[in-house]
Amino acid sequence: MKNSIKLFTGITIAALILVIANTLLYRLPQLSSATDNFVYPLWLVYLFFFGFTVIILAVLLKISVKNKEQVGYAFLFLTALKMAASYFMARPILTKTIDDPTEKINFFAVFILFLAIEAYYTARLLNNK
């Protein structure tokens, strides 16, 4: 229980640092107008991926207590669900007619960052068998 609180605290702190850094990045004069045409605000994209990360890791922690051999399969299944949900969220971004790729790059960079966090903690769970 203590380790899971430490885990979720670390993920929350990492997510806050990432969203603050990303917001500050778009405050630079060269990028300040890029967010004007975003379909989703930055905080919503981060909240979406943070929510999925918390749910995935909570399920993986629960599975690791009951059946450690299934953690890897559960990670793959839950990541596939997250990718499907991300696709449906990203469809308006992908079909935008504006030529600026900033929002696409940002969306997929955030996706990869949170996927890396999930993969890191899943690897730690698998190595603690």
Tens of pLDDT, residues 69-121: 888 899 999 999 999 999 999 998 888 877 778 888 889 999 999 999 999 98
Whose tokens are 């009951």? That residue is 66
Rounded to 5 degrees, φ, ψ at 112 are -65, -40
Phi then psi dihedrals of residue 5, to 5 deg: -65, -40
Q: pTM for this one?
A: 0.88
Q: Work out the angle between the directed axes of helices 102-127 and 71-94 (0-180°, nearest 10).
A: 180
